[in-house]
Amino acid sequence: MVRRSWAGTGWILLLALLSPAWAGQDPAMELVLLGTGYPYPSADRAGPSCAVVVGGVAFIVDAGRGIGMRIAAAGIPWSAIRSVFITHLHSDHIDGLPDLFHSCWQFGGGRPFELYGPEGIRGVAEGILKFYEADIRIRRDLTEKLPAEGAEIDARAIGEGVVYSAPDRVRVTAFAVNHRPVEPAFGYRFDAGGRSIVITGDTRPDPNLDRFARGADILVHEAYVNGDTASRQDGSHSWTIYDYHSSAAEAGAAARKANVKILVLTHLIPGNAPEKYFLDEAKRNFSGRVIVGRDLLRIPVPDSADSPAVQ
C-alpha cells in the first residue's frame, strides 16, 4: 500500500526519531558517500547516493545503482534508516530504490518506508509495490510473516521548504535547483545541532542553490570535467549531458558564493577521470577544502568543520 502525504512550504512534519542501538546518545553528524558515479555502470563507483547520519539515525539522499551493497559495506544497520529523500526522478538516482525499500522491510523492522521526492514519487512507489507484489504476499503471509506495515511506502510529494523536522534533532529543507528540462528537481539541506550539510542533486549554477547553501559546513555538489559545450558555427550546439550539470569549476564557484567550509564533489563525470582534474578545477574558484568523493568515504562534521577527519 502507498500512503499518500504532501510535504511542502508551510508544512512541518514533527516526527519522533527512533533510537537504534548503535546510536547511543551521540548527536554527531556525519556524511557517508554511498555512490559517487553517474549513469554509466562502474565497478568502482555506485550510482548517486549518500547518507546523512545524525546521532546514529541515517537519512538517505538518492538511491542509485548498488546502494544496498554500499549500505552494507558502510556498516549502516537497516534499522537505522529513517527516511529517504529523492532529488529527481532520473533513473540513475532511483535505480537502487526497490532494493532499498525491500531490504529495509526484510532486515530493518516493521515501519512503513518513508519516502520524499518530487511530484511523481507516488507513481514510483506504486510501481515498486507492484514489482514486489508476489514476493510481499509470500514473505508477509506465508513464510517469514514479516510485518505488514513494513511493506507499505509512505510516499510524500514535496515542494520547496521544510519537509522534515524532529524537534531539537534534525531539520530537512528542500529547495529547487536548475536541472531543466527535468522539473521539478530539488536539493536538500540538513541542519542539526548547529551543523549543516547541503546536497545539491543534479543542477546547473543557480542562485537559489547559493541561497540555501549559505554558510553550510559541507556542500555536496555534482561535478564534471572536460565537458564539450563548443558551439556550432550558427551559434547553436547539440545537446549533451553537460547542458544540465555543473563543472567542477562551477561547483567551486558555488561553494565560494555560499561561503561553505568544505566542498565535496560527487556524481563525477567521467567517473574514471583522475581526481586531480576535479580538484584543480574546483580550486580555481574556491580556496576552502575540496574533497573529491569516493564510494564509502565518511566525513564527520565536528563542532568546528575547519579540520574534519576523513575516513
pLDDT of residue 230: 43
Among 219, 162, 174, CA closest to 196: 219
pLDDT of residue 8: 44
In contact, 265 and 5? CB cutoff 8 Å: no
pLDDT of residue 168: 65
From 26, 44, 62, 92, the catalytic residue: 92
Tell me the C-alpha distance between 87 and 174, whole Å: 9
Q: Which helix (H) or strand (E) holds 145?
A: none
Q: Output the nine-digit C-alpha cell for 38.
A: 553517474
pLDDT of residue 23: 36
In one letter, which amino acid is 82?
R
Q: Is the peptide bond before 167 cis (omega within 30 degrees of 0)?
A: no
In contact, 151 and 184? CB cutoff 8 Å: no
**92 in active site:** yes
Tell me the C-alpha distance between 291 and 287, whole Å: 12
For the chain, which domains are there? 2-301 (3.60.15.10)
In contact, 54 and 190? CB cutoff 8 Å: yes
pLDDT of residue 181: 84
pLDDT of residue 166: 87
Tell me the C-alpha distance between 105 and 117, whole Å: 20
Residues of the chain with pLDDT under 50: 5-26, 229-234, 305-311
CA distances from 26 to 20, 23, 68, 70 (A): 11, 6, 25, 23
Task: Enumerate helices (H) and strands (E) in the chain, giving the number of each.
Answer: 8, 15
Among 263, 257, 249, CA closest to 308: 263
Tell me the C-alpha distance between 291 and 309, whole Å: 12
- Helices marked H in 15-120 — which ranges? 67-74, 91-94, 97-108
pTM of this structure: 0.88
Q: Output the nine-digit C-alpha cell for 308.
A: 574534519
DSSP summary character for residue 247: B
